[in-house]
Structures are given as structure tokens and as C-alpha cells.
Amino acid sequence: MSAPIVTLATSAELPHLDADEQNLPDALRERGLEPKIAVWDDPSVNWDEAGTVIIRSVRDYARDRQKFINWAASLPRVLNSANTIAWNSDKHYLQVLEKYGLPMIPTTWLEPSQGLSKQQIHSRFPASGDFVVKPAVASGGRGSGRYSAVDAQQRGEAVEHAMYELSQGRTVMVQRYLEEIDSQGETSLVYLNGLPSYQVEKEAMLHPRFRSLGEEVVIEEVAHATYATEETWRWGERIRKALHNHIKDVNGKDELLLFNRVDIVRGDENSREEFYVVEISLIDGSLYLSQNEENLNMFADAIQMRVDW
């Protein structure tokens, strides 16, 4: 009897997976699975023979989001599901989760359909502090820039940044930059098959003059494995419940997510909230498998469990 096939979907720029995932194929092989690696938009791949497809290093999906969504929907078996992938591929999902009571970083949404002028965009920027301009559809931090609200030159650069993204038909997010990120970084909580599994702390990635406007520029994350506290898991559980309530409301039933990475930042003493949701990664966000061998083994075990179902 042949081993079950597991195909790890990646992008042409990472044909052998991201460095964080280099040991995943061997870990799957040790569990009696037959791992393969395939570029998601490679026309020579026969996806009907791909077995269970696990979405991983698809860093370029934002360049043609609709093509990516259509591809995911065509797969016989993909984890996470194609519907979840489509929803999570556009950060408008943050607006949805906010309606479920989750605390979000204050965000102004600029839509291409609004036809905003430079002056109108300028007037929508914060009056003080730093802020971030980024497209709502992006992966790996592409298209992000941090600007000072009180620096005239930087505000002008931010306007040009937003105008460019809007001209490409992309929604632009203008978010206040939380100073807590510089002092405390972000926390990533990872759930595997619905269970809380491990946590990492990430250093601040957007320094005051950071710009990632080219498609080939990807933010490099600096993460450290840490032990999750009861407090952070409590916050994570609140987010997880809101996410699954949305899935049930939309699909009429819940979904067991193979992986779910929740990124949060702690509020300071002046914040109204204990924490803020930064992002929820259900597609290609790093799972920090190289941070700790246990992380790699837990993910490989989670995949094996789902393949055996």
C-alpha cells in the first residue's frame, strides 16, 4: 500500500519552501507520508494527484488573488479550506471580526471606488504619532510603509504611497502605529487542529523609516520561542471563538482549521483594551517551525492526523 501523498504548496520564488519549513518534508516522511512540493501556479502540476494539499509558502498570491482563490477552490482536498483561504486573503476580514467584538488597531480604509484626491487622503491620516500605510491584500509585508504624522515630507510620501496602491485597484489601510510594538513586539499564538499549541514573541519589524513598496521586498521576522501565559491564551481563545463563530455564521457549520496563527499586541496602561488584534494568518503566515523542534513535530503530527481522517 502506497503512502498517502501530502503536497506542500509554495511559490516560484520559494520553490523549496521557506527556510523555516525546510525540515517539514522529512518530518512528514518519518510519519509514513509521501511529501511533495509544488508551485501553486505551475501549469505542469497535476493537482488531482496531489493528495492533501497544505498551503505554505505562497508569498506571491496577492499579485493575482482571484487566480489564487480559483486555484484553491479547484483542489480536491486543501487545508485550510478554500472558502477560509478566500476570506483570509483580504484584510477586510478584520472589519468582520471587529463586529464580533474583537479589539482592532484603529484603521482608516481607503477604497479605490472612493476616487479620493491627494488632499482627501492627506486629511485621513492621523494628526500625531506614527502610522502605517499598506494594501489590504498582501503577503510577507509587501507594500507596507511607516510614516510620521508630524513630518511634512513623510506625510507627502505616505500620500504618494496610498495613491499608487489605489491606482492599482487595491484597498489601502491606514493604521496607527502602536508604540507598544517597539517596546514589546508582537505575540503570535499558534493553534493546530483547533488546539492551542505554542507561542512566539516577534521583535518590531517596521522601523521609523521602513518602506516595503516593491513587490520583491519581504519583511524579515525576528521571532523567539516563549512560553504562553494564561493571559495570552485567554486573549487567543477570545479571538478563536470569534473566528469560528464567523465561520459557522457564513458556512452553516464550523471548520477544524489545520493551523491558525493569531498575532496580538498588548495594550499599554492608557489603552482601553488589554490587547489588539494585528492579524490572523490562515494561509501562508510563518508557523515558526525552526524556532523549536517541538513546533515542527507538532505541525507534522497535526498534518498526519488530518491525512488519516
DSSP3 helix / strand / coil % (the chain, rounded to 5): 35, 25, 40
Strands in 130-135's sheet, in edge-to-edge order, are: 107-110, 172-176, 130-135, 144-148, 211-212
Q: How far from chain centre, in Å, is Cα 160?
A: 25
Angstrom distance (rounded) from CA 90 to CA 117: 24
Strands in 195-202's sheet, in edge-to-edge order, are: 223-226, 195-202, 186-192, 259-266, 275-281
Place of cell 508604540: 179
- What is the pLDDT at residue 207? 47
Helix (H) or strand (E) holding 85: helix 82-88
Place of cell 483561504: 85
Grid cell locating 148: 510620521
Partnered with residue 144 across adjacent β-strands are 212
Task: Decide if 42 contacts 71 (C-beta within 8 A).
Answer: no
Largest CA distance in the chain: 68
- What is the pLDDT at residue 221? 60
DSSP conformation class of 97:
H
Per-residue pLDDT of the chain (309 residues; tens, 9 = 90+): 689 999 999 999 999 999 999 999 999 999 999 999 999 999 999 999 999 999 999 999 999 999 999 999 999 999 999 999 999 999 999 999 999 999 999 899 999 999 999 999 999 999 998 999 999 998 777 788 999 999 999 999 999 999 999 999 999 999 988 877 766 778 999 999 999 999 998 765 554 544 455 555 555 565 566 777 888 899 999 999 999 999 999 989 999 999 999 999 887 666 677 889 999 999 999 999 998 899 999 999 999 999 977
Grid cell locating 170: 487595491
Domain 5-88 shares a fold with domain 107-176? no
Task: Decide if 38 contacts 70 (C-beta within 8 A).
Answer: no
Those residues with Cβ within 8 angstroms of residue 204's Cβ, 6 or more apart along the chain or in another chain = 181, 182, 185, 186
Cα distances (angstroms) measured from residue 211 to each of 13, 83, 123, 180, 204: 21, 32, 21, 20, 14
Task: Decide if 193 contacts 284 (C-beta within 8 A).
Answer: no
Angstrom distance (rounded) from CA 174 to CA 75: 35
Dihedral of CA atoms 303, 304, 308, 309 in degrees, nearest 10, equals -30
1.25.40, 3.30.1490, 3.30.70, 2.170.120: CATH of 107-176: 3.30.1490
φ, ψ of residue 275 in degrees (nearest 5) = -155, 165
CATH number given to 179-209+219-293+301-308: 3.30.470.20
2.60.40, 3.40.50, 3.30.1370, 1.20.58: CATH of 5-88: 3.40.50
CA neighbor of 141 nearest in space, from 207, 239, 235: 207
Task: Decide if 255 contacts 80 (C-beta within 8 A).
Answer: yes
Angstrom distance (rounded) from CA 285 to CA 296: 15
- What is the pLDDT at residue 210? 46
Task: Decide if 135 contacts 62 (C-beta within 8 A).
Answer: yes
**Domain extent listing, the chain:** 5-88, 107-176, 179-209+219-293+301-308
